[in-house]
Structure 1
């Protein structure tokens, strides 16, 4: 296996058959030792969070595949904390798409003059650039199109997929009495047709989930969802 990319929360290896292998780590994003799914630095290491994230990712990717929602998922090896995926090309140097159901985190930091903490939002979709140097700036549809990162048609697909996927996650969490506040997703293009598919992971490390008004840590979320 050849190491292709060393990421904050997982490493990517090139398999000889054309697929990639993602190795999940126990690092999570945050600042000053506090977990934050929207942060662009590793904030802390939580033992077992890699396998927990993979278990939840496997659960959600298989749900999405059942519903015919396109992903890069092939299979997962929980014991070794690895996931086999189809190769995908990024939009530009990488974008993240956030779907928000409540006003928290960076939404409040930006729009706190108008929003109240925890205020309900109607599956608000925003796109940010993966750019640590510039603190992952938000970007609009017009700018994405004008800078050649994605076309207007691709943006529509991206937004539609984001809402569909986020709603699947939201409904699954709701079955356990858990409320999804927001979720961060990543997408890429796969194959010659350049189909837009969900990539990366869906775990406690890239969402904010609450039960009875209390935030649920990533490890705890996995236990609650898969017990």
Structure 2
């Protein structure tokens, strides 16, 4: 097999040069990190689960007219994606108080917010991905006001889609983060959802019990992370109901 050119390696994924111009191959690793990579582990099967779950969510968004970078899944760990110019911001949508928002404002975790709150963080691990205001974003040229308006609209549409879908399987979407990239079609530029959507990038709580089904399981040592992700996949129908939780057999 020909050696592929690595374009970028992050904490959870590797990007390789794609087979056609304007494409990349995104590989999902089993690595788990928390607290800006201060806590690390390898969770067997995590990359397989996130590949399938991100495929599921991105395909659903594409089907309702929310553009994403996802083209198709290639195998158990890889998917073909569009190459995009990533805007250096994490876009966070919060429906319930959790994580840094709860700490900043002294809110009890699980408090319902009066409406979805969208926050922006500057993507820089060395700085801890600091929260930034729209004034910073425009002043430093990371995005224009029109970009911000479009990003807000995209984020809220993703929130409506995810919240509705997960509610249907008994899971509450407390918050999530996405990345957004620019693509050019001739002289026309548009913004699309990029990176991934998976339990790595969401806070997912069982509606009845409050059980955490996301990376907080790893952050807080609440159990087996693969079990939590497998439960999400099972409820969504990405896994057959009879699959063993710890050693999932993914459907094609």
TM-score w.r.t. structure 2 length? 0.81
**Offset from partner CA, 1:150-172 (integer Å, 9 cap, x none):** 00110010011001012101111
Q: CA deviation at 1:127?
A: 0.7
- 2:164 matched to which residue of 1? 171
Q: Does 1:116 align with 2:108?
A: yes
- 2:8 matched to which residue of 1? 5
Q: CA deviation at 1:142?
A: 1.1
Q: CA deviation at 1:42?
A: 5.8
**Offset from partner CA, 1:35-61 (integer Å, 9 cap, x none):** xxxx45563221111110111111111
Q: Does 1:72 align with 2:75?
A: no
Q: Does 1:86 align with 2:93?
A: no
CA–CA distance in structure 2, aligned partners of residues 199 and 139 of structure 1: 20
Higher Cα radius of gyration: 2
- 1:100 matched to which residue of 2? 94
* Greater RCO (Cα-Cα under 8 Å, separation 6 or more): 1
The correspondence for 2:144, drawn from 151, 165, 187, is 151
Q: CA deviation at 1:116?
A: 2.5
SS of 2:142's partner is coil
Gaps of 5+ in 1: 32-38
TM-score w.r.t. structure 1 length? 0.90
CA–CA distance in structure 1, aligned partners of residues 170 and 92 of structure 2: 22
> How big is the alpha-carbon RMSD for the aligned residues of Structure 1 and Structure 2?
1.5
- 2:235 matched to which residue of 1? 224
Q: 1:84 to 1:43 in 2, by over 3 A?
A: same
Give the total of aligned pairs: 215
- 2:46 matched to which residue of 1? 49
Q: 1:163 to 1:41 in 2, by over 3 A?
A: farther
Q: Does 1:203 align with 2:198?
A: yes
The correspondence for 2:31, drawn from 27, 32, 37, is 27
Q: CA deviation at 1:88?
A: 0.1
SS of 1:196's partner is strand
Kept in 2: contact 1:98–1:126 (CA 8 A): yes
CA–CA distance in structure 2, aligned partners of residues 40 and 191 of structure 1: 33
